[in-house]
Amino acid sequence: MTTRTIRVELPSHRTVTLRAEREILPRTADLPFTGARKLFASGDVVILDKELAVDVDSLALGDFHALRAIAVRLGWLHEKTIEIQCINCEHTLIVAPCESFALGPFEEGALSDAELDVTLPVGTPHPVPSLFSTRASAEAASTITFRALTLGEARPLHAALARSQVRVTKALVRAMGIEAIGRERSPERIADLLRDCSDRAFHAITRLFLMTHYPPRLFAMARCPECGARNDVDAPYEREFGFEDEGPESGSDARSNEKESFVSFDDFALRAEALYAELVPEEARRELTFLVEGGTPACDDGGDPLLGSYVPPHPGDDMNPSRLGEITVFYRTFRATWESDEGFDWTGELGETIEHEFEHHIGFLRGDDPKDDEERDQIDAEAVRIHGRRTLMRRDVAAFGYDVWDFWRRTWFFWILALIAAAALTWSRN
């Protein structure tokens, strides 16, 4: 009998051990909450806290959701694939999110990132849009307060969501952990308010619910095979409510320009060329080629689409002709950023991007490019945040071992010949 054991930190900072006493055929996650709960409640996988068994229903709801992702990652649960479009080149990707979920920080007990490991605090009022009908008071529509939830307390919500129609009742209010809307604390009255509110207000409330029980770390990265872009997807993907941004009134801080049109490529190129002539000295422009790219943007080593790039000059050799250094700005990245962020000053950012890439050229000419070093350090630091330091170190060691083995596999015959020749030379001298 094979025992598989893993010790993990959970979002609440509780550390538990997961132990599977036998090989487990992956359970279906078609009903994500029920399937995961049965996995742990059945005893197939035991949750231990200091060697004491933990009732899965007693877990904080956020901890349970993390365990859902971990269980899929370890092959104990089966997750349906999803289809997404690459954010950069629009190539269609088929993704099983939790299969590429970063397990390292959970194993290392490193859930202390100021952004990735923070959820909305419970017991604190959070603003919601004033989109209730006239029957609801303005005061009642102003804030919502959630309390902490266990999986057992949330089970009526999961049961309700499995039905074709969801009825908003006081039981559902309790199962969502809604403590108050404005000054109203009666679950029955809160249910009345939710039935009466607009769709946008309800979406804002469900968004806050998700932000309370799913830390941002619960995501996975899918790299596009066509352009290398990093595409982040929720892991686990199936959640109680959709996390769509409902626009300016959804309660999100970031507002978008999706309903407006960005400048045309021609107008963007004219502005970029004017800024390039203004910001880069004429003598330097003789050593550079300036490009405005309207196609798929290049990505950095971390998979983020670039606003701009710099390629050093090449003196030429037998294989490649000489060429000038190149500064490129990518129209589609500027457009995508502007569409997602109403406050994005694209002209100001365009000027800063050109100046930034020109600094790379100056650094290259000096033989020292601190900007490049800084960017690579930032990419490395982001990788550590997401994957965990020890996990990346193990990968580096494994890659080194593979390189050594691959080198030996390709050259072993010549080494043996060399040893035979050395032995023969030694024998002849003796």
Q: 114-128, 191-205, 269-283, 353-367: lowest mean pLDDT where? A: 191-205
What mean pLDDT, rounded, does the chain reach?
A: 86
Q: CA 334, CA 353: separation in Å to the nearest integer?
A: 11
Q: What is the pLDDT of residue 397?
A: 46
pLDDT tens digits, residue range 73-128? Answer: 998 988 889 999 999 999 999 999 998 899 999 999 999 999 999 999 999 999 98
CATH architecture, domain 265-371: 2-Layer Sandwich (3.30)
pTM for this entry: 0.81
Q: CA 389, CA 384: separation in Å to the nearest integer?
A: 5
Q: CA 154, CA 242: separation in Å to the nearest integer?
A: 17
**Which stretches of 197-305 are DSSP H helices?**
199-213, 265-279, 282-285
Q: Is the confidence at residue 421, as pLDDT, over 90? A: no
Q: Give the CA dihedral 250, 253, 254, 258, nearest 10 degrees.
A: 20
pLDDT band at 250 (very low <50, low <70, confident <90, very high): very low
Q: What is the pLDDT of residue 17?
A: 97
Proportion of the chain above pLDDT 90, given as a percent: 63
pLDDT tens digits, residue range 157-207? Answer: 999 998 888 899 999 999 999 999 998 999 999 999 999 888 888 999 999
For the chain, percent helix, then strand, then coil, each to nearest 5?
45, 20, 40
pLDDT band at 389 (very low <50, low <70, confident <90, very high): confident
Q: CA 335, CA 258: separation in Å to the nearest integer?
A: 10
Q: What is the pLDDT of residue 133?
A: 54
Give burial (CB, 10 Å; 0-12/13-18/19+) of 404: exposed
Q: 138-142, 152-156, 259-263, 292-296: lowest mean pLDDT where? A: 138-142
**Contact at 8 Å (CB) between 66 and 81?**
no
Residue 189 has which token pair?
Answer: 């009255």
Distance separating the N- and C-terminal Cα atoms of the chain: 59
Selection from 330, 320, 324 nearest residue 300 by Cα? 330
3-36 burial code (b ≥16 CB/10 A, e <16): eeebebbbbbeeebebebeeebeebebeebbbbb
Decide: helix, strand or coil at residue 220.
Answer: strand
Mean pLDDT of 340-366: 95
pLDDT tens digits, residue range 28-81? Answer: 655 678 889 999 998 889 999 999 999 999 999 999 999 999 999 998 988 889
Q: What angle do CA 284, 287, 291 make, to 5 degrees?
A: 95
Residue 397 has which token pair?
Answer: 């060691």
**Contact at 8 Å (CB) between 387 and 220?**
no
Selection from 47, 42, 57, 54 nearest residue 19 by Cα? 47
Q: 3-12, 208-217, 227-236, 415-424: lowest mean pLDDT where? A: 415-424
Q: Is the confidence at residue 408, as pLDDT, over 80? A: no
Proportion of the chain above pLDDT 70, given as a percent: 80
Q: What is the pLDDT of residue 196?
A: 86
pLDDT tens digits, residue range 125-135? Answer: 999 876 555 55
